[in-house]
């Protein structure tokens, strides 16, 4: 299978323009990427540009820090789904995990699933593995394996540390096969992308998607 089919072609920088989104959508169509992942404000535009294609439109919820109120995340999700988003990449409440408030995490994901599942939208929960201990990563797996989420995602790309092969392997070892893994953050070369897939990732969040699809190295960057 081509590496391109694993990629969520991503642009989430604060300065993203409509022109940027158009470029990402055109590249996604050209290279047959799995999805585009764009800021919520551009969901409607991306849906329009990708209409009739197999490329999914993903957007982010509670991004990038995850510590917004559950009610705020729910409203973000409702709007995104109403504008046609196929996939939601939600940042979990990392502060709740650090405080060992596991009930808060369970209530949050349960509430999001209650609105995403009826619309058959995929839910990817971002745990920000780069700021967690191995024990905390395993605890996340234990929490989210109880729910019908589609993916556990490593990172936002905004923390000091993004995806690692070790984190993907650890997550894969503690999740049922029904839950997939999305690796993101710092994926800038074909070799690293392939290593993450070999470790168990079935989606990759990348902004260097075109270079990766061509088997190149794109240098330094978040996504």
**The pLDDT of residue 138:** 98
User: Residue 143 in contact with residue 108, Cβ under 8 Å?
Assistant: no
| Residue 89: active-site member | yes
- Give the pLDDT band (50/70/90) at residue 219: low
**The pLDDT of residue 162:** 96
Find the catalytic residue in 8, 56, 73, 89. Answer: 89
Find the catalytic residue in 56, 73, 124, 182. Answer: 182
Q: What is the pLDDT of residues 181-214, one digit of tens each?
A: 999 999 999 999 999 999 999 999 999 999 999 9
Find the catalytic residue in 153, 161, 194, 214. Answer: 153
What CA–CA distance (Å, rounded) separates 134 from 61? 24
- Give the pLDDT band (50/70/90) at residue 222: low
CATH of domain 3-214: 3.20.20.70
Examine the pLDDT at 52 and tell me if it is beyond 90: yes
Residue 34: other Cβ atoms inside 10 A: 21
The pLDDT > 70 percentage for the chain reads 96
H-helix segments, the chain: 18-31, 43-49, 70-82, 94-98, 102-116, 134-144, 165-173, 190-199, 209-213
Residue 49: other Cβ atoms inside 10 A: 19
User: Residue 221 in contact with residue 208, Cβ under 8 Å?
Assistant: yes
φ and ψ of 215, to 5 deg: 80, 25
Place of tokens 């995990």: 97
Mean pLDDT, the chain, rounded, equals 96
φ and ψ of 11, to 5 deg: -140, 110
> Domain locations in the chain?
3-214
| Residue 100: active-site member | no
What CA–CA distance (Å, rounded) separates 41 from 59? 9
SS3 state of residue 106: helix
Q: What is the pLDDT of residues 59-98, one digit of tens each?
A: 999 999 999 999 999 999 999 999 999 999 999 999 999 9
Q: What is the pLDDT of residues 19-38, one digit of tens each?
A: 999 999 999 999 999 999 99
| Residue 153: active-site member | yes
- How many DSSP H helices and E strands does the chain contain? 9, 8
């Amino acid at each position: 299978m081509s590496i391109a089919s694993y990629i969520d072609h991503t642009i989430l920088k604060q300065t993203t323009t409509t022109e940027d989104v158009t470029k990402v959508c055109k590249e996604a169509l050209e290279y047959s990427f799995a999805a585009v992942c764009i800021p919520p404000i551009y969901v409607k535009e991306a849906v329009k540009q990708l209409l009739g294609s197999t490329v999914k439109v993903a957007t982010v919820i509670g991004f990038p820090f995850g510590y917004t109120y559950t009610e705020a995340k729910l409203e973000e999700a409702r709007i995104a789904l109403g504008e046609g988003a196929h996939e939601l990449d939600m940042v979990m409440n990392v502060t709740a995990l650090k405080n060992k408030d596991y009930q808060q995490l369970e209530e949050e994901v349960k509430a999001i699933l209650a609105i995403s599942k009826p619309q058959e939208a995929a839910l990817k929960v971002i745990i920000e593995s780069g700021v967690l201990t191995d024990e905390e990563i395993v605890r996340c797996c234990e929490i989210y394996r109880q729910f019908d989420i589609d993916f556990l995602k490593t990172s936002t790309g905004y923390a000091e540390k993004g995806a690692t092969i070790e984190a993907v392997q650890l997550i894969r070892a503690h999740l049922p096969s029904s839950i997939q893994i999305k690796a993101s953050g710092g994926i800038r070369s074909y070799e690293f992308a392939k290593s993450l897939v070999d470790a168990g990732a079935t989606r990759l969040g990348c902004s260097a998607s075109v270079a990766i699809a061509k088997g190149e190295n794109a240098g330094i960057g978040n996504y």
